């Protein structure tokens, strides 16, 4: 009958694998969020209509269901057009709406 490794070294290996798995899940989440933003920018380019939604409190923008800062917006002409052309409406992002 095979024996299980003892606690020496076993817990450290598990912790390392767990940390790497958590980092991989976070990286995947960020990739999915970025793809949602890019999909929304493509939709805005294609349709040419619509407004950018900006949080009235923190100033982040909603694109594809994700809230992102102006510095993180993709450099697409339609986004810049809407920023320059007053094609913005305001809302409150989930982070700011939870402020006590």
CA distances from 28 to 1, 7, 51, 53 (A): 39, 31, 28, 25
In the chain, where the domains are located: 8-97
Condensed to tens digits (0 to 9), the pLDDT of residues 7-40 reads 555 667 888 999 999 999 999 988 888 888 887 7
- pTM value is 0.60
Condensed to tens digits (0 to 9), the pLDDT of residues 35-86 reads 888 877 777 777 767 778 889 999 998 888 889 888 887 776 567 776 666 6
CA distances from 42 to 35, 74, 89, 93 (A): 10, 10, 19, 22
């Amino acid at each position: 009958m095979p024996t299980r490794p003892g606690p020496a070294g076993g817990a450290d290996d598990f912790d390392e694998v767990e940390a790497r798995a958590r980092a991989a899940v976070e990286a995947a989440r960020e990739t999915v969020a970025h793809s949602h933003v890019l999909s929304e920018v493509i939709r805005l380019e294609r349709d040419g209509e619509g407004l950018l939604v900006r949080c009235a409190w923190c100033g982040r923008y909603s694109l594809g269901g994700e809230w992102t800062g102006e510095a993180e917006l993709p450099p697409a002409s339609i986004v810049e057009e809407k920023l320059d052309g007053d094609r913005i409406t305001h809302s409150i992002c989930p982070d700011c709406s939870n402020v006590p």
